[in-house]
Structure 1
Amino acid sequence: MYTMTTDKTGAPTDVTAEADRFSISVDGQKAGFTEFIDHDNQRIFPHTEIDDEFGGRGLGTIVVREALEVTREAGLRIVPVCPMVSGFIDKHAEFGDLVDPVTSDVKRILASR
């Protein structure tokens, strides 16, 4: 998967899917990621991180949106453990019907990482 858009400064960004994360780069430089764990029919999002030097440019929103779109296309449910993912969903109701709660099973999966 490869998606290109621009950040708040107009710089080109690239979002790529990896085995356990979606990464975002700006002008070819890795700027951050959102991690995921696939379990049953769910994609658990435990952590999102944007490097400090790229802060305030909307990169977290770009990478989270792309990750959630791909998750939807894959037919998976979303478990937003990460506050950034949860906050994004709160502001974008179009993903609300895909959300599952953080259960004790999810917490066990995260603890075993």
Structure 2
Amino acid sequence: MTDSAVSDEPRLVRNEPESRYEVWVGETRAGIATYRESDSRVTFVHTIVDKAFGGHGLGSRLAAFALEDTVSRGKRIVPRCPFIREYLQSHHEFDDHIDDLPERTRS
């Protein structure tokens, strides 16, 4: 994957039928964050970005989009996915919206 392909503005979407958030670069799905949803919570299960798109911050953009969308819909965040859990360790703007997060450290 060339840097110019990754420089295209990524498109972030919630794919409700597939229970995942997606990041697209051009016509290619570059990464996903899968989840399970209940009436009041969104449990993040797994996040992955294709190796061809690694190192460009797409995982962080995907995490931010998914978490902001979850909060905007009035849902609680349950971070079972290690990537989402790690992202939340340094993004405290979501602190009031998290359920069941292991011990956290403040930066």
TM-score (normalised: structure 2)? 0.83
- The equivalent position to 1:16 in structure 2, one of 7, 13, 26, is 13
TM-score (normalised: structure 1)? 0.79
Aligned residues: 94
Fraction of identical pairs, as percent: 33
Q: For residues 38-68 of structure 1, what are the alpha-carbon distances to aligned partners after superposition, in whole Å with 9 as ceiling and x for unaligned?
A: 1231100010010011111101001110000
State the partner residue of 1:66.
Answer: 65
Q: CA deviation at 1:27?
A: 1.9
CA RMSD of aligned residues (A): 1.2
Letter in 2 for 1:67: A
Gaps of 5+ in 1: 1-8, 103-113
Segments of 4+ moved more than 6 angstroms:
none
What is the CA–CA distance in structure 2 between the aligned matches of 1:28 and 1:16, rounded to whole Å? 13
